[in-house]
Amino acid sequence: MALDTETPLNSLGFAKPPSETRVVVAMSGGVDSSVVAAYLADQGYDVVGVTLQLYDHGAALAKKGACCAGIDIHDARRVAEERGFPHYVLDYENIFKDAVIDEFADSYLAGATPVPCIRCNERVKFKDLLETAKDLEADCMATGHYIQRKMGTNGAELHSAEDANRDQSYFLFSTTPEQLDFLRFPLGHLPSKDATREMAAQYGLAVADKPDSQDICFVPNGNYASVIEKLRPGAAEPGEIVHADGRVLAQHDGVIHYTIGQRRGLGIGGLSEPLYVVKLDVDKKQVVVGPKEMLATRTVPVREINWLGDEPFTSRDEWHVSVKVRSTRPPREAIIRPLSDTTAEVELFTPEEGISPGQACVFYETGGSRIFGGGWIWRGY
């Protein structure tokens, strides 16, 4: 019997009616994922909402501005009830601690500046939760991330969101081709966050005006050091603040209280030149400071690379792309020189200041929207 080639693809890319297409929606309780769930339910899809309980830090549970707290689970459940689709809460606390929180603490103690939201997407949401979605016999999983998935000649491609101010590609560079096949991002094409809130209002969602989460979900008030001290008692060992020329300028209460590029709060006023943290030497318990020009870097060692290009990463000696070395900075032109399938040296055309081990280096198509993956910045030794 000939294949039916006339069945049109639905909005999620499947050749069957929405009612026969099951989609698991990862619901954080915020406005973005709530709109995704309501929109897909309204389109007639077989929606299943899933919310992850990732941590329980006492007072943090009642805290606004952090995802996955108690109030957020309640909000996600309410949306599901009102829109008439099933909703499950999964206890992922142990997985989250092992895969995200412990590494965050260890990286910070090693003088790095980690980005736990990337690890959460990579190791929890797009790994364990994605497998759970498959166990629920879903055709795909949808999230409220602002990023676009487009079909190219070689399959699904990752592209920046339409709204550059909301784009979350920096936090999703480690999404693999296999995961991309299964994932959908219905908000990536929207022109602004206002458009999302307008949709929420149209659907009558109680979260339409809910504030965006600002902090890392397990770091209340953005105080990283206090969380590290709880997780690793005794970690904040005192030491010296040292000028790059060797002068001891002051004492500190622990390297974990400082980040590369920091200028304020060093407690070394009265000097003729402004000084910045240029290095954290954990072994010597030293915070090394120096003039701003010492922060400028052209060469960035990168490892654990996830490559999303059409050709193998090592098939060329050089890739001419643009890269982001911090989430808040625009992509800048660079050359990637592969050293192996997962390691490379990145040369920046223009030096960047404050590049820190533990941050991500994400690869972009110069002048375009495609994301070619990325890797993790390290010290190179």
Q: How far apart are CA 52 and CA 217, in angstroms?
A: 12
- Catalytic, out of 67, 120, 140, 361: 120
Q: Is 151 annotated as a binding residue?
A: no
Please check whether residues 52 and 154 belong to one and the same domain: yes
Does 1 reside within a domain? no
- Catalytic, out of 68, 117, 140, 217: 217
Please check whether residues 170 and 88 belong to one and the same domain: yes
Q: Is 27 annotated as a binding residue?
A: yes
Distance of CA 329 to the CA centre of its chain: 14
Does 182 reside within a domain? yes
> Structural domain tally of the chain?
3
At 281-296, the pLDDT tens digits run: 888 999 999 999 999 9
Please check whether residues 75 and 159 belong to one and the same domain: yes
Strand (E) or helix (H) holding 370: strand 370-377
Q: How far apart are CA 115 and CA 358, in angstroms?
A: 7
- Of the CA atoms within 13 Å of residue 293, those in its CB half-sphere come to 1
Please check whether residues 42 and 151 belong to one and the same domain: yes
Q: Is 354 annotated as a binding residue?
A: no
Q: Is 236 annotated as a binding residue?
A: no
Does 227 reside within a domain? no
Does 218 reside within a domain? no
Q: Is 32 annotated as a binding residue?
A: yes
At 114-134, the pLDDT tens digits run: 899 999 999 999 999 999 999
Please check whether residues 279 and 331 belong to one and the same domain: no
Which domain covers residue 241, as residue numbers?
Answer: 236-290
Full pLDDT tens readout for the chain, 381 residues: 444 556 799 999 999 999 999 999 999 999 999 999 999 999 999 999 999 988 764 444 444 444 445 788 999 999 999 999 999 999 999 999 999 999 999 998 888 888 999 999 999 999 999 999 999 999 999 999 999 999 999 999 999 999 999 999 999 999 999 999 999 999 999 999 999 999 999 999 999 999 887 678 888 777 888 888 888 887 788 999 999 999 999 999 988 889 889 998 888 877 778 999 999 988 899 999 999 999 999 999 999 999 999 999 999 999 999 999 999 889 999 999 999 999 999 999 999 998 989 999 999 999 999 999 999 999 865
Determine whether 117 is an active site residue: no
User: What is the DSSP annotation of 145-164?
Assistant: -SEEEEEETTEEEEEE-SST
Closest CA to 216 of 324, 108, 305, 87: 108
Please check whether residues 79 and 145 belong to one and the same domain: yes
Determine whether 120 is an active site residue: yes
